[in-house]
Amino acid sequence: MLQNSTCNKLCEVKIPGEDAKFINDRILEDQAINWLVDGLPASELKQDPKSGEFFYDMGFNLGNDDDKYAEKPILHNHYDVMLKYHVTSGGSYRVVGVLVWPYSIVTPPTGPTCDTSRENPVYLAEDKVNDVTWTYSVTWSESETPWASLATRWDNYLHIFDPKIHWFSLINSIVIVVFLCAMVSMILVRTVNRDISRYNAMDLTEEIQEDYGWKLVHGEVFRRPAFPMLLAVMTGNGAQLAAMVAVTLVFALLGFLSPSNRGSLATVMIICYTFFGGISGYVSSRVYSSLGGTDKRKNAFLTATLFPTCIFGFVFLLNMFLVFAGSSGAVPFGTMLTIVFLWYGISAPLTAIGSWYGTRHG
């Protein structure tokens, strides 16, 4: 900690021609490398051409294929790393920023020199074995940005290139919504006024005519649906999902879901959705009872298992494809079992309790 070092040798690698072709293709695709230091992503320092502000662009390029290197890319094998830290009131040190400047430097037989001023890049030949040496330098720089303040620590990372675009989209959406609401309201008011005028103009001595126009709506509203069980189950699961979204947004607005805690958003969503099983059971049983349903046990069982089983089966199938493809994004089998336990060990019993309570008060 706080020890600057220059030209540290990391490793020496022999890259065969087949692997060199693969690396060159990735460089041409502008593939980036992502590091994490104390929960913060390593970034390149860039400048917004419109506003002139400096910001951190998360990740850094594997190589360079710009301008004169467009046809024959070069590989970055040296990294100048700057770690920005803040000294807290207790005397401890916190990393508040990570900057990386990548370079391509050929290592001479006498050893690495890490001279970034000379232009001597590393080209990977695709017809022979390439000897590449990776090196790095580390510099510590004190910063006034406090570690505990999420708003300032992540401001350099969460950069908006053109805020005017967001304001334009917001105003455009508001205008469209207001226009559509006004148009629909005007049509409804004209229709209802016309029907009321026709009813008022009727001669009371004539035979009573059948309802028409907007008065026919009451017959459709109170009509029993064709599949009351499915409607009740979908309503209950929708209420559970809405409660989960509301609580997650509240936690996010209060700053509990920090970007430095990777996976915290997904964890909170799963936990909230699990513990709100009672809401789905209660709402589903109330809706089902209001529709005249009698099979309350089947309603509780389907509310707890129908949609969760379908979603879990679909996710499990997609995860199997990732496992067979050898992807690092595949969910471990133990995590899948934990989700199953959370659902059928906690959410399902809560759904049954909520369904019983809703039946008693329905």
What is the residue-wise DSSP string for 167-188?
A: HHHHHHHHHHHHHHHHHHHHHH
> Which among 343, 244, 243, 335 has a CA at the least distance from the CA of 303?
343
**What pLDDT is stored for residue 261 in this prediction?**
66
Q: Per residue in 122-151, is it b (16+ CB within 10 Å) or e — as a string?
A: bbbebeeebebbbbbbeebeebebbbeeee
In angstroms, what CA-CA distances link 224 with 151, 221, 276, 286, 331?
52, 8, 28, 15, 43
Q: How many residues does the chain have?
A: 362
Write the CB contacts of 305 (distance below 8 Å, at least 6 apart in sequence): 348
Between CA 96 and CA 90 the distance in angstroms is: 16
- pLDDT tens-place values along the chain, 362 residues long: 788 888 888 888 899 989 999 999 999 888 888 888 877 888 888 877 777 777 788 888 888 888 888 888 999 989 999 998 888 777 788 888 888 999 988 888 888 888 888 888 888 888 889 898 889 999 998 888 776 555 567 777 776 666 666 777 888 899 999 999 999 999 988 888 887 777 776 655 455 566 666 666 766 676 788 888 999 999 999 999 999 999 998 888 887 776 656 677 888 888 888 999 999 999 999 999 888 888 889 999 999 989 888 988 898 898 888 888 887 778 888 888 888 888 888 889 999 999 998 888 76
User: Could you give the angle at the alpha carbon of 165 between the alpha carbons of 163 and 171, nearest 5°?
Assistant: 110
b/e 279-306 (16+ beta carbons within 10 angstroms → b): bbbbbbbbbbbeeebeebeebbbbbbbb
Structure confidence at residue 165 (pLDDT)? 63
| Sequence-distant (≥ 6) Cβ neighbours of residue 74 within 8 angstroms | 27, 63, 64, 104, 121, 122, 123
Q: How far is C-alpha 170 from the chain's CA centre?
A: 21
Q: What angle do CA 301, 305, 309 make, to 5 degrees?
A: 160
Hey, is 136 helix, strand or coil?
A: strand
Q: Are 35 and 41 in contact (CB under 8 A)?
A: yes
Can you read off the two tokens belonging to residue 136?
A: 């790095």
Rounded CA-CA distance 323/214 in Å is 56
Residue in the block written with tokens 């992807």: 327
Measure the CA–CA gap between 118 and 111, rounded to whole angstroms: 16
Residue 62 DSSP one-character state = S
What is the pLDDT, as a whole number, of residue 327? Answer: 79
In this structure, are residues 145 and 153 in contact, taking their beta carbons and an 8 Å threshold? yes
CA distances from 123 to 23, 71, 129, 144, 243 (A): 11, 11, 12, 40, 56
